[in-house]
Amino acid sequence: MQAKERLKKEIESLSPDNILRVYDLVLILKKQDKNLEIRKARNGYLRTRLALRNCTGLLSNDIIEERNDRI
Q: Residue 66's domain spans which residues?
A: 2-70
Categorize the per-residue pLDDT at 54 as very low, low, confident or very high, splitting at 50, 70 and 90. confident
DSSP state of 67: H
Query: Would the pTM count as exceeding 0.85?
Result: no
49 to each of 1, 2, 37, how far by Cα in Å? 42, 45, 21
Please report the pLDDT score of residue 11 as a whole number: 93
What's the domain count of the chain?
1
